[in-house]
Amino acid sequence: MLSRAMILGAFCFIAGWALVFVSGYGGNSTDGSELVWQVGGLMVYASLAILPITALAALGVLLRSSARRLHRPS
Protein backbone atom coordinates (compact mmCIF):
# COMPACT_ATOMS: atom_id res chain seq x y z
CA MET A 1 0.00 0.00 0.00
CA LEU A 2 2.70 2.49 0.96
CA SER A 3 4.85 1.63 -2.02
CA ARG A 4 1.90 2.26 -4.34
CA ALA A 5 1.31 5.64 -2.71
CA MET A 6 4.98 6.55 -3.17
CA ILE A 7 4.81 5.53 -6.82
CA LEU A 8 1.61 7.56 -7.25
CA GLY A 9 3.21 10.60 -5.64
CA ALA A 10 6.33 10.35 -7.80
CA PHE A 11 4.21 9.88 -10.92
CA CYS A 12 2.06 12.91 -10.07
CA PHE A 13 5.14 15.03 -9.49
CA ILE A 14 6.89 14.08 -12.73
CA ALA A 15 3.77 14.04 -14.91
CA GLY A 16 2.54 17.30 -13.39
CA TRP A 17 5.77 19.13 -14.17
CA ALA A 18 5.77 17.62 -17.67
CA LEU A 19 2.26 18.97 -18.24
CA VAL A 20 3.24 22.40 -16.94
CA PHE A 21 6.24 22.58 -19.26
CA VAL A 22 4.42 21.16 -22.29
CA SER A 23 1.39 23.43 -21.86
CA GLY A 24 3.26 26.48 -23.09
CA TYR A 25 1.11 28.66 -20.85
CA GLY A 26 2.58 31.59 -18.94
CA GLY A 27 6.00 33.12 -19.23
CA ASN A 28 6.88 34.51 -22.64
CA SER A 29 4.94 31.95 -24.66
CA THR A 30 1.53 32.58 -26.15
CA ASP A 31 -1.39 30.38 -27.17
CA GLY A 32 -0.69 27.86 -24.42
CA SER A 33 -3.33 25.69 -22.84
CA GLU A 34 -4.36 27.06 -19.48
CA LEU A 35 -6.33 23.91 -18.64
CA VAL A 36 -3.28 21.64 -19.16
CA TRP A 37 -1.20 24.06 -17.08
CA GLN A 38 -3.74 24.01 -14.25
CA VAL A 39 -4.08 20.21 -14.25
CA GLY A 40 -0.27 19.87 -14.19
CA GLY A 41 -0.03 22.33 -11.32
CA LEU A 42 -2.68 20.48 -9.34
CA MET A 43 -0.82 17.21 -9.88
CA VAL A 44 2.39 18.76 -8.57
CA TYR A 45 0.57 20.16 -5.53
CA ALA A 46 -1.07 16.79 -4.88
CA SER A 47 2.32 15.06 -5.01
CA LEU A 48 3.68 17.53 -2.48
CA ALA A 49 1.01 16.27 -0.09
CA ILE A 50 1.15 12.57 -1.01
CA LEU A 51 4.91 12.07 -0.70
CA PRO A 52 5.52 13.46 2.82
CA ILE A 53 2.39 11.81 4.23
CA THR A 54 3.44 8.47 2.76
CA ALA A 55 6.97 8.90 4.09
CA LEU A 56 5.61 9.61 7.58
CA ALA A 57 3.35 6.56 7.39
CA ALA A 58 6.31 4.40 6.33
CA LEU A 59 8.34 5.80 9.22
CA GLY A 60 5.50 4.96 11.59
CA VAL A 61 5.39 1.37 10.32
CA LEU A 62 9.17 1.11 10.72
CA LEU A 63 9.11 2.49 14.27
CA ARG A 64 6.22 0.25 15.28
CA SER A 65 8.03 -2.78 13.91
CA SER A 66 11.25 -1.93 15.72
CA ALA A 67 9.36 -1.27 18.97
CA ARG A 68 7.76 -4.70 18.76
CA ARG A 69 11.15 -6.26 18.15
CA LEU A 70 12.65 -4.47 21.19
CA HIS A 71 9.83 -5.43 23.56
CA ARG A 72 9.58 -9.05 22.49
CA PRO A 73 9.76 -11.34 25.54
CA SER A 74 12.89 -13.46 25.72
**Residues 3-53 pLDDT 10s:** 899 999 999 999 999 998 888 776 655 667 888 888 999 999 999 999 999
Give the global pTM: 0.74
- pLDDT of 22 reads 87
Assess contact for 2 and 54: CB atoms under 8 A: yes
Confidence of residue 68 (pLDDT cuts 50, 70, 90): confident
Closest CA to 9 of 48, 41, 36: 48
Count of domains observed in the chain: 1
- pLDDT of 57 reads 93
Which DSSP state fits 29?
-
- pLDDT of 30 reads 62
The domain of 44 spans: 2-70
